[in-house]
């Protein structure tokens, strides 16, 4: 660390300081977030970029700072406007420095050389005295209320007694159906209802099966036990995208002999996706503020639908069952034919389960003539194994990223 290093550093800092000006130019290639560029691009002019020194279409720090300011105002409020108060000499909320706020907002949105300089420039224009607080820390959003209401409903349903069981949606209170409709509408708006034709593995204990396997042996049971997404007596198809996952689901840690086969839907099916929420939009996208909050809410809601069963309560699945029943019996919107959800055996992994609302009659060996949704067994995929434990220990482990 000789003088050379120090003088180079001083020179760099002086250069950075000299760039904190309204007319500092940033070119289209140095702005990495396309939504940010779209918001400033209309005033862009041809010039030399202050960061990459290339001639290109450029905008200025002034224009960029205006956009950053508007994003800051969507997510933050000044301490003085927040209603925060001093409690024993300390503010009752976490405050943020505008420089850090701008730095966070610009993260990965702009070329690294320009990142800190622009954040400093944004801060230099800010005359707020006591910093900023995150809106989420001081005000509940509409989604917070919905989340709280769902949590309360789930608790009530789990604690409820059998005699008051919610067998049909018709028996639900209007307050409850209002809440369920609200959640469904957010999910519809945010694109959680989709179409797809997944190939699904289904596994059964080997006991009592005859070979060659046919669809009706391996498909939906005639009258299923109550399960995560369905109530007792429904004939529905539970399957997994991976064979290993299907084996894990059926064996639940025990060592069993099993048979398995893969089914494909006869056509695209309309499904509700609680497996994964869509990627969050850039904060620079117009209206992204509401979308990000809605997706965060749906994320936490989805987790409640596939949370591991941590208690022995037979009522653990009731909230999920009620919500799915509501979707299925509702006539206002198209009813999903399937639900895609994360395996609760590995909540942090990628194991993917489906329930398809197809009864045993609609599990077939050959494509059917009518347009009903059928699940067709791929006979070449059928197989049997004497030990699930041996099978799972030999299976190539799926990457869990």
Positions 51 through 110 that interact with Zn ion (CB under 5 A)? 51-52
Q: Tell me which H or E stretch contains 141.
A: none
49/123 with CB nearer Zn ion: 49
User: Residues 91, 79: contact at Cβ < 8 Å?
Assistant: yes
Distance between CA 309 and CA 307 in Å, rounded? 6
3-state secondary structure of 157: helix
Distance between CA 334 and CA 327 in Å, rounded? 9
Q: Both tokens of residue 323?
A: 């919500």
Distance between CA 216 and CA 316 in Å, rounded? 29
* Residue 30 binding Zn ion, by CB under 5 A: yes
3-state secondary structure of 96: strand
User: Helices 98-105 & 112-125, crossing angle to 10 degrees?
Assistant: 140
62/290 with CB nearer Zn ion: 62
119/302 with CB nearer Zn ion: 119
Distance between CA 265 and CA 203 in Å, rounded? 17
* Segment interacting with Zn ion (CB under 5 A) among 23-31, 130-138, 194-202, 327-335: 23-31
Shortest distance in whole angstroms from residue 112 CB to Zn ion: 12
51/297 with CB nearer Zn ion: 51
116/392 with CB nearer Zn ion: 116
3-state secondary structure of 118: helix
Positions 31 through 60 that interact with Zn ion (CB under 5 A)? 49, 51-52
Output the CA torsion sign for 150, 152, 155, 158. Answer: negative
Residues 6+ apart with CB under 8 A from 87: none
51/132 with CB nearer Zn ion: 51
51/61 with CB nearer Zn ion: 51
3-state secondary structure of 380: strand
| DSSP symbols for 176-215 | HHHHHHHHHHHHHHTT-EEEE---EEEEEESTT--SS--H
The one among 19, 27, 179, 180 contacting Zn ion by CB under 5 A: 27
Sheet with 55-60: list strands edge to edge. Answer: 25-27, 55-60, 45-48
Whose CB is nearest to Zn ion? 49
Task: Tell me the pairing of strands 45-48 and 55-60.
Answer: antiparallel
Shortest distance in whole angstroms from residue 57 CB to Zn ion: 10
Binding-residue total with Zn ion (CB under 5 A): 5
Shortest distance in whole angstroms from residue 377 CB to Zn ion: 57
114/305 with CB nearer Zn ion: 114
* Segment interacting with Zn ion (CB under 5 A) among 25-33, 99-107, 215-223, 237-245: 25-33
37/132 with CB nearer Zn ion: 37
Shortest distance in whole angstroms from residue 25 CB to Zn ion: 8
Task: Tell me the pairing of strands 363-364 and 375-385.
Answer: parallel
Q: Both tokens of residue 71?
A: 């994003």
27/236 with CB nearer Zn ion: 27
Distance between CA 362 and CA 260 in Å, rounded? 18
* Segment interacting with Zn ion (CB under 5 A) among 26-34, 232-240, 250-258, 352-360: 26-34
User: Residues 375, 266: contact at Cβ < 8 Å?
Assistant: yes
49/324 with CB nearer Zn ion: 49
Shortest distance in whole angstroms from residue 176 CB to Zn ion: 55
Q: Tell me which H or E stretch contains 392.
A: helix 388-394
Neighbours of 25 (CB within 10 A): 21
Point out which residues bind Zn ion (CB under 5 A). Answer: 27, 30, 49, 51-52
């Amino acid at each position: 660390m000789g003088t050379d290093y120090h003088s180079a550093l001083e020179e760099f800092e002086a250069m950075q300081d000299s760039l904190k000006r309204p007319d500092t130019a940033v070119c289209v290639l140095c702005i990495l977030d396309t939504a940010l560029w779209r918001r400033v691009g209309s005033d862009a002019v041809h010039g030399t970029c202050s960061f990459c020194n290339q001639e290109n279409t450029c905008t200025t720090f002034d224009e960029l700072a205006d956009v950053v300011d508007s994003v800051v105002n969507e997510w933050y409020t000044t301490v003085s406007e927040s209603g925060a108060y001093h409690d024993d000499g300390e503010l009752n909320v976490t405050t943020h420095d505008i420089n850090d706020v701008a730095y966070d907002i610009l993260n990965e949105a702009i070329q690294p050389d320009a990142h800190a300089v622009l954040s400093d420039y944004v801060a230099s224009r800010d005359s707020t005295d006591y910093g900023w607080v995150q809106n989420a820390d001081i005000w509940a959003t509409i989604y917070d209320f919905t989340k709280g209401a769902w949590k309360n409903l789930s608790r009530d349903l789990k604690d409820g007694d059998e005699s008051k069981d919610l067998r049909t949606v018709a028996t639900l209170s209007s307050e409850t159906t209002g809440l369920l409709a609200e959640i469904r509408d957010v999910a519809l708006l945010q694109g959680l209802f989709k179409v797809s034709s997944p190939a699904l593995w289904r596994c059964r204990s080997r006991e009592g099966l005859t070979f060659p396997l046919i669809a009706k042996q391996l498909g939906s049971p005639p009258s299923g036990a109550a399960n995560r997404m369905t109530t007792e007596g429904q004939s529905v198809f539970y399957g997994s995208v991976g064979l290993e996952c299907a084996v894990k689901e059926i064996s639940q840690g025990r060592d069993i002999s099993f048979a398995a086969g893969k089914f494909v839907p006869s056509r695209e099916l309309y499904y509700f996706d609680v497996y994964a929420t869509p990627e969050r939009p850039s904060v620079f996208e117009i209206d992204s503020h509401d979308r990000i909050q809605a997706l965060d809410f749906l994320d936490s809601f989805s987790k409640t639908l596939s949370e591991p069963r941590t208690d022995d309560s037979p009522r653990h699945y009731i909230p999920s069952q009620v919500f799915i029943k509501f979707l299925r019996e509702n006539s206002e919107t198209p009813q999903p034919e399937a639900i895609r959800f994360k395996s609760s055996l590995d909540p942090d992994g990628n194991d993917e389960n489906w329930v398809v609302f197809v009864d045993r009659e609609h599990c077939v060996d050959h494509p059917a003539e009518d347009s009903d949704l059928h699940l067709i067994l791929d006979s070449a995929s059928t197989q049997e194994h004497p030990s699930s434990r041996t099978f799972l220990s030999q299976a190539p482990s799926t990457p869990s990223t």
